[in-house]
Amino acid sequence: MKNTYFSKIAQTIEPYQWEEGITEQMLRFDANTLPFPPKSVERFLNAMAKRCPINEYADPTYATLKKLIADYEQTDVSMITITNSGDEALDIIAKTFINPQDKFIVQPPTYEMFSIQCEMNGGKQIEVPLIPKTFAMDVNTLIETSKNVTAKLIFICNPNNPTGTTYPQAEIERILTESNCIVVVDEVYREFYGKSVVQLLTKYDNLVILRSFSKFAAMAGARIGYLISNPTINNKFDGIRLPMGVSYLSYKLAEYVLQFDKNWIVKQVQMIIRERERLTYELTKLGCITYPSQANFLLVDLGGRAQEICKKLRDNNILIRDRSTKKYLEGCVRITVRSPEENTKLIANLKQIL
């Protein structure tokens, strides 16, 4: 078939793929997932075994789940849009705000799906890199660039993936005030940081917050997320999203988690934070440069040995994320913080390798 039949983006895009040869026996320090599924899964499965109307279409408004999310976020249901994962949420954002050739700003190194989804919808990427080594935002350059190129969107990942860096509310407010852009704040890892800008939604009508059940609720396999924005933007999001794009099973499980697992979520987050501190200490003792993180992962500079160490760990059924060949992340790997037992195995293996 002639390549010209395809759209410009389809001519260049490649399917997303995991590494080959990944098995269930491998320890997954590469995907930023939590070590255990939600506590209420068994209760949910028992309920579904008794009554599961999977043959019918479910409520396309997700009214019950929206109410539970609004309570969790301490905001209004009119500000919530349910999405089929955080990645679909980014696609909805792009479809809502981006026309062909509209500019959007990303701050690498950061979450790559910001760029992918916007470019697939015709947007043109502008980079304002984070400051080297500290990975702080270059706020002055960011605001100046947004005005010079007449950008539509600015993406801020807070905490940032893959660096774990966080950004003060004052900086985010300055960007909201001075940039004349829609500012998307990705708070997928918020629970491991403990701070949010949700309260700013009533103050700034150009703020959109991205959330996902994959991290705080340990539901990565269910593919469900949500957006929080002012009611006007939310109404546009709800019009653009697929009307029944989230599966019945996924949104029902999300309801169970928010109804029954709030204390479990708190305990899981506390455990991850403790383990993050322990893992940072142990890696530093081994001579690794470990960047400060407020997420459930660590960025570690292994220098010229990064690929070698990744391979040796994989030979022992341990996966970490090799970012060492990426611009701005030369020599670095990203390591997910897992359970105490898993982290101990990782440390023991690294001691042998290093």
Taken in order 85, 90, 91, 95, the sign of the CA dihedral is positive
Sheet with 225-229, strands from edge to edge, namely: 80-83, 225-229, 207-212, 182-186, 153-157, 103-106, 124-127
Residues 32-59 pLDDT 10s: 999 999 999 999 999 999 999 999 998 9
Residues 337-347 pLDDT 10s: 999 999 999 99
Q: How confident is the model at residue 24 (pLDDT cuts 50, 70, 90)?
A: confident
Are the C-beta atoms of residues 317 and 26 closer than 8 Å to each other?
Answer: yes
Q: How confident is the model at residue 8 (pLDDT cuts 50, 70, 90)?
A: confident
Q: Could you give the CA distance from residue 168 to residue 215 in angstroms, rounded to a whole number? A: 22
- b/e map 260-272, b = 16+ CB within 10 Å: ebeebbeebbebb
Are the C-beta atoms of residues 153 and 207 closer than 8 Å to each other?
Answer: no
Q: Could you give the CA distance from residue 227 to residue 265 in angstroms, rounded to a whole number? A: 20
- The domains of the chain, with CATH numbers, are 18-38+263-353 (3.90.1150.10), 41-260 (3.40.640.10)
Question: HSE-up of 115 (CA within 13 Å, CB side)?
Answer: 13
Q: Which residues contact 132 (CB under 8 A, 6 or more apart)?
A: 328
**DSSP letter (8 states) at residue 179:** S
| pLDDT surpassing 80 at residue 80 | yes
pTM: 0.96
Q: Could you give the CA distance from residue 335 to residue 297 in angstroms, rounded to a whole number? A: 5
Residues 316-334 pLDDT 10s: 999 999 999 999 999 999 9
Single-letter amino acid, residue 286? L
Residue whose structure tokens are 């109804």: 259
